[in-house]
């Protein structure tokens, strides 16, 4: 018997392809958390940035200082703080050593990773004896070589390159058009601006804690941490941690409040009707939306350019659970960075020493 197949019938037969769509708000863990956890339990992740050329992720890993004395050479300090690289296969390696790395940004001009280092909790003692560099460092991701751009011993002074002084550096962002960098000082309640040559000026904040909007010279902050520059709005956003607010600094240096209020809480809404609880990290997408690591709420929030706040993922109760939206759990999320190719966020989960990924929508 001869089997006859109609070509026309085959052409009309429906073709079904299995397509997997990841639901918006899906949270996954990027790497094995044991890669960041030492037996001493002293690791603590600070700062995160994505290299747009390679897709690699970089994170600051506070480990420990080894302080001691040798019979022949006297006192010594061994720094084990590092900048770690997470490649596309989720392999973790050490890029460079840096003392107390706090926040990072990528500079499109020289393709370097910039890191603010030396920051400590306000009022605490330095993590190592002797003068501690507090300022801005450039690291070449190709070879790990570093150079100082601005800063020196902890203090407060505007000026050129190594003459400038910082204290309690906590956040960092950059403007790809001008080449400028922005540094927040949690202890000094200021936001500083550093140009490509290292010249440092004060952009906003008087140094006194407060919640005043207005020109940069009279505006006040309370423990400012994360920074994000949004080209879509030509605006610098500040996670004003102590005020439980997201503040905005426009091109003229004027400060306003985008969302939140000092009372704190965990409420979606618009402007002052929304509430945060110690927002720490911020990042922008290409549309100008701001994403917030709401650390004490264990959640990641979204703020539109008009100030409307919604919760992307997480809930008030802490944990380390992958899932979608409110079913996922974070443990004190601290910093985050946006990946435009995947329309996703990478989040440093401080309490669990994890790097988490949140898919915002299928690109």
Whole-number Å distance between alpha carbons of 241 and 221: 9
Whole-number Å distance between alpha carbons of 331 and 228: 22
pLDDT at 161: 95
Six token digits for residue 257: 């409040």
Helices (H), the chain: 7-12
156-193 tens-digit pLDDT = 999 999 999 998 899 999 999 999 999 999 989 999 99
Residue 150 has phi, psi (to 5 degrees) of -155, 145
pLDDT (average), residues 82-89: 92
Name the pLDDT band for 37 (thresholds 50, 70, 90).
low
- 8-17, 168-177, 214-223 — which is least confidently predicted? 8-17
Residue 291 clears pLDDT 60, i.e. is over it: yes
pLDDT (average), residues 350-355: 89
Residue 62 clears pLDDT 70, i.e. is over it: yes
Name the pLDDT band for 98 (thresholds 50, 70, 90).
confident
- 7-11, 70-74, 79-83, 235-239 — which is least confidently predicted? 7-11
Q: How far is CA 214 from CA 80, 153, 200, 290, in A?
A: 42, 31, 21, 21
Residue 9 clears pLDDT 50, i.e. is over it: no
- 116-125, 151-160, 221-230 — which is least confidently predicted? 116-125
pLDDT at 3: 46
**What is the Cβ-side half-sphere exposure of residue 215, based on CA atoms within 13 angstroms?**
2
pLDDT at 17: 46
Q: How far apart are the first and last CA of the chain?
A: 51
pLDDT at 67: 55
Residue 11 clears pLDDT 60, i.e. is over it: no
Residue with tokens 């956003």, as numbered in its chain = 237
Pairing between strand 44-50 and 57-62? antiparallel
pLDDT at 7: 43
Whole-number Å distance between alpha carbons of 243 and 221: 7
Q: Which residues, listed in sequence order, are joined to residue 54 by a DSSP beta bridge? A: none
pLDDT at 22: 84
Give the residue, 23 or 71, on which the prediction is more confident: 23
**Counting beta carbons within 10 angstroms of the beta carbon of residue 245, is it exposed (0 to 12), middle (13 to 18) or buried (19 or more)?**
buried
Residue 286 clears pLDDT 90, i.e. is over it: yes
| Cβ-Cβ contacts under 8 Å for 232 (sequence gap 6 or more) | 284, 286, 287, 288, 305
Whole-number Å distance between alpha carbons of 217 and 222: 15
In the sheet that holds 133-139, the strands lie side by side as 101-107, 112-117, 133-139, 146-153
pLDDT (average), residues 113-119: 89
Residue 75 clears pLDDT 70, i.e. is over it: no
Q: How far is CA 45 from CA 48, 79, 162, 179, 229, in A?
A: 9, 15, 27, 27, 22
Name the pLDDT band for 145 (thresholds 50, 70, 90).
very high
**What is the Cβ-side half-sphere exposure of residue 337, based on CA atoms within 13 angstroms?**
24
Element (H, E) at 308: strand 308-314
Whole-number Å distance between alpha carbons of 363 and 356: 19
Written as one string, the DSSP assignment of 143-209 is: T--EEEEEEEESS-B-EEGGG-B-SSEEEEEE-TTT--EEEEETTTTEEEEE-TT-EEEEEE--SSB
């Amino acid at each position: 018997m001869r089997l006859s197949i109609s070509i026309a019938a085959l052409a009309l037969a429906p073709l079904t392809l299995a397509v997997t769509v990841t639901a918006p708000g899906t949270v996954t863990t990027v790497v094995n958390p044991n890669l960041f956890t030492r037996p001493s339990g002293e690791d603590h992740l600070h700062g995160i940035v994505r290299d747009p050329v390679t897709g690699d992720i970089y994170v600051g890993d506070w480990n420990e200082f080894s302080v001691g004395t040798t019979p022949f050479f006297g006192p010594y300090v061994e720094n084990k703080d590092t900048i770690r690289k997470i490649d596309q296969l989720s392999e973790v390696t050490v890029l460079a050593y840096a003392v107390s790395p706090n926040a990072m940004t990528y500079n499109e001009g020289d393709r370097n990773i910039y890191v603010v280092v030396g920051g400590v909790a306000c009022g605490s003692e330095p993590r190592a004896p002797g003068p501690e560099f507090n300022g801005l460092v450039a690291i070449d991701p190709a070879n790990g070589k570093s150079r100082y751009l601005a800063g020196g011993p902890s203090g407060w002074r505007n000026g050129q390159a190594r003459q400038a002084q910082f204290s309690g550096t906590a956040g960092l962002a950059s403007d790809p058009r001008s080449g400028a960098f922005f540094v927040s000082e949690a202890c000094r309640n200021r936001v500083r601006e550093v140009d490509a040559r290292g010249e440092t000026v004060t952009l906003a904040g008087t140094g006194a804690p407060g919640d005043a909007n207005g020109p940069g010279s009279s505006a006040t902050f309370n423990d400012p941490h994360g920074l994000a520059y949004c080209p879509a709005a030509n605006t610098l956003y500040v996670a004003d941690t102590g005020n439980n607010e997201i503040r905005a600094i426009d091109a003229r240096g004027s400060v306003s409040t985008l969302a939140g209020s000092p009372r704190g809480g965990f409420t979606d809404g618009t402007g002052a009707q929304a509430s945060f609880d110690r927002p720490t990290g911020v990042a922008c997408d290409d549309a100008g939306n701001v994403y917030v690591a709401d650390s004490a709420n264990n959640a990641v929030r979204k703020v539109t350019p008009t100030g409307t706040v919604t919760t992307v993922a997480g809930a008030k109760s802490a944990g380390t659970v992958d899932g979608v939206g409110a079913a996922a759990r974070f443990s004190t999320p601290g910093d985050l960075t946006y990946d435009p190719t995947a329309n996703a966020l990478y989040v440093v989960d401080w309490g669990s020493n994890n790097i988490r990924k949140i898919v915002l929508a299928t690109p």
